[in-house]
Amino acid sequence: MKIFKIAIIILFVFSQTIVVFANDNEKDSTQVTSHFTELDFSQNLDSLLRLWYVQQSLQTNDSGLVVSEFNDSIIPEFADSVYIKRLSELPVFMNLSFNSVVRNYINLYTQRKRDLVEVMLGLSQYYFPIFEQILDANGLPIELKYLPVIESALNPKAISRAGATGMWQFMYYTGKSYKLEINSIVDERRDPIKSTYAAVNYLKDLYNIYDDWVLAIAAYNCGAGNVNKAIRRSGGKRDYWEIYYHLPKETRGYVPAFIAATYVMNYYQEHNLSPRQIDLPIVTDTLIITEPLHFRQVADILKIPVRMIRDLNPQYRRDIIPAYSKSYSLTLPVQYTTQFIDLQDTIFAYKDSIFFDPNSVHKAPPKYKRYHPKAPSGNHAKLYYRVQSGDNLGFIASWYHVRTSDLRYWNRIRRNFIKSGQRLVIYVPKKNATHYKKINAMTYAQKQASVGKKVTISPKSTPKIKNTGNYVYYTVKYGDNLWDIAKKYPGVSNTDIIRLNNIENARKISPGQQIKIKSK
């Protein structure tokens, strides 16, 4: 009896442990789903609205794009057994498991993001044939075409928080290692065709490492290094669900999101979802461009919206095809390709000097020549003015009735800086030249009087030298500076005056101020 009681207690404790562990797992899986969903999938879905083709299509829909207000009678829900049966019947090569995490993503796609998923279904009619052809030609499972659904929501211009770009979300160095051109003008991570070829090669390399497509998909998201760490930490297990909790949180939601996307893309009708009609041209043609070309040249001549060209050629970042030393492709709706060929000379010549300035390559600083100021016109005479102590450009400009900006230009003056004794070039009307020639010989008061200003000199401002106490003092007059004052006293420098009078700013001395010059 005692042994039986102990067994019951142990069983009870063990069962409670299992319940707690299961609850913890359920809580953790919800956190993973929330992390991956809100920060990545929803962001990519919402960014679809910036595509021109999507905007054009939604404008034709009177209801607009609004998150669905649904009820249980319109949007069906199914038992887990239905989801399991449907996944098992899909003609796919890899194992598509079903669990609570996968179900959460199915609910996300079929309930919370219905309208946006319908837009994505519409885009799939254009992009999936591209993916399928390349995957099939390389012997990869066709269902890998659903990876861009969770990577970028089929948005070729998608950019993640980490900087991954394009439908297949290549990081910069990964894209470069798979021979994608990435620079300021061209980013082939955004090219649906070239990025798909690069993704195929990347997935091949990952599959060669793990010999398991589910692990290869996980490594596509977080890198082979993180998957290898998870395998080691799990004791060498190589099943995704057995290494699940050793993977980064984002990757824990990545594979379930892929399984759910595969389900929804095949069974959307059962959930009353229908592809939104997107006016992307199903039939396009590719032209090889061998000269530099701007999208505006094509748009203006062929009368195509430039945003249409951008959506069909997302790899060009600046609306420029830089075909200087190599050729590039241009994709257009098939009905415009014949027009382009017929009018290509006109297209390349249209505003070519505006979009591509041929002289910009040869621009260089002009050769240095001695500066010679020029008169405003032939009716002006050239005069010279000798700067005197106390002058400034504002005064001089007013005496000659010219602008200070002209004085600076004629004499290459920066920041209004002039010095005593400097000779300035001034242009005045010839008929008034005789009057302006007299200004050089005038006193400061006479110059000011010539423009209607009076100068009142107070007794304190009268320059005088006096001996007081143990020092020789000097009374500052208008226009004085320490350099000129120091020159009046042999053996005295402006630095001596500054030090003796504790002057902090040599420019801030005022008329009437008495300063010490030297000891008696």
Query: Is 151 part of the annotated catalytic residue set?
Result: yes
Residue 153 burial by Cβ neighbours in a 10 Å radius (0-12, 13-18, 19+): buried
Distance separating alpha carbons of residues 289 and 318, to the nearest angstrom: 16
Question: Distance between terminal CA atoms of the chain?
Answer: 122
Separation of alpha carbons 466 and 463, rounded Å:
10
Q: Are 439 and 451 in contact (CB under 8 A)?
A: no
Q: How far is CA 395 from CA 93, 190, 194, 444, in A?
A: 90, 63, 69, 10
- Which residues face 321 on adjacent strands? 293
Find, among 409, 425, 418, the residue nearest to 391 by Cα. 418
Is-contact 213 94, C-beta < 8 A? yes
* Strand, coil or helix: 324: coil
The count of other CB atoms within 10 Å of the CB of residue 277 is: 14
Of 132, 151, 270, 291, the active-site residue reads 151
Lay out the sheet containing 514-519: strands in order across.
465-468, 471-475, 514-519
Residues paired with 328 in a beta bridge: 289
Tokens 């050729």 appear where?
A: 327
Phi–psi pair at 287, nearest 5 degrees? -105, 145
Residue linked to tokens 């909790």: 245
Whether residue 147 contacts residue 258, with contact meaning beta carbons closer than 8 Å, is answered with: yes
Residue type present at position 236: G
- Catalytically active residues, by annotation: 151
